[in-house]
Amino acid sequence: MPGCAHCGRPLDIVGNQVGRRDTCPHCGEEVRSCRNCRHFEPSVAKQCKEPFADVPSDKDDANFCELFQIGEGGLHAKESRDAMLSAAEALFRKK
């Protein structure tokens, strides 16, 4: 289930049916933004894995990107994954 990149709570979205002005029912942030897209990746050029995307400078604002696809939790999913990996690595570090 897709999740909001801003608050991390689940979004009740069927398929990729996200309008430009749709907002998260929990935090009120706009859903059709770069941070909620499955192509969003902070570590790549323009923070987008889609090479032909016309990427807006503000990743939080709603946009008209034709390549938008709702992601699975955006920033919070990535941060949680990174935190878990760091915790696991810490278990095996020599002191």
Cβ–Cβ under 8 Å, residues 74 and 40: yes
The whole-model pTM stands at 0.71
Reported as a single tens digit per residue, the pLDDT across 44-95 is 989 999 999 998 999 999 999 999 999 876 554 555 556 666 777 888 876 6
The amino acid present at 9, given as its one-letter code, is R
Cβ–Cβ under 8 Å, residues 32 and 22: yes
Average pLDDT rounded to a whole number, residues 15-36: 91
Cβ–Cβ under 8 Å, residues 15 and 2: no
Average pLDDT rounded to a whole number, residues 16-42: 91
Average pLDDT rounded to a whole number, residues 18-36: 93
